[in-house]
Structure 1
């Protein structure tokens, strides 16, 4: 996955942890390259409870790594509508499994 801001491709670090960071933007997980991390306004989502940008997005939920607050993805006024309820989550889980397992089926 490239940097969401500049499109640079991630390379493996020589040793140690990667200098790339993860973030959430419009309820989607994004990667941020070291150069773009220096930018002051990356327009990343922040936690409604504590204001931190240390968020992760997985299986339809956004979790704050700073305070532990969890909310459903797509429940923001500026976020496009997503299907709600068990059917919407089931579709998201099925799509995630298809991506991970390399299936080429489509879930409408």
Structure 2
């Protein structure tokens, strides 16, 4: 899953806690990369708990739960009209094709 702000993808994890943060936006789980976390307003685009206002939310099994106060609510059905990433970053399939092309030294069809 890419960063919802810039489209960066996670690399292989290093031992220990991940520097990537989770959040919920439009009732969907999203990730925020370390570079975007340096922005002052990175939490402004995340959903907030209706009970306490925290952005420490997780989305699972059709529910959104606040990790700060424990409030649970039903998630809205997902809007499939577009991706949350608006940066124009390539999708995973394009990244894989480009990596294969670099490694193999030729196009996928050549």
Q: Is the 8 A contact 1:2 1:8 kept in 2?
A: yes
- In the other structure, the counterpart of 2:9 is 9
Q: CA deviation at 1:15?
A: 2.2
**Mapped partners of 1:23, 1:38: distance in 2:** 15
Encode CA deviations 1:22-46: one digit per residue, 9 max, x unaligned: 0000100001101111223331001
| SS of the residue 1:53 aligns to | coil
**Counterpart-to-counterpart distance in 1, 2:14 and 2:57:** 26
Residue matched to 1:47: 49
Matched position secondary structure for 1:6: coil
Map of 1:80-91 to 2, 5 A cutoff?
none
Structure 2: which 5+ residue stretches go unaligned? 80-110
Counterpart-to-counterpart distance in 2, 1:7 and 1:17: 21
Tell me the distance in 2 between the aligned counterparts of 1:31 and 1:67: 21
Return 5+ residue gaps in structure 1 as ranges. Answer: 81-108
Normalising by structure 2, report the TM-score: 0.64
Of 65, 68, 74, 2:67 maps to 65
Matches of 2:19 and 2:72 in 1, distance apart?
26
Query: How many pairs were matched up?
Result: 77
Question: Which structure's CA Rg is the greater one?
Answer: 2
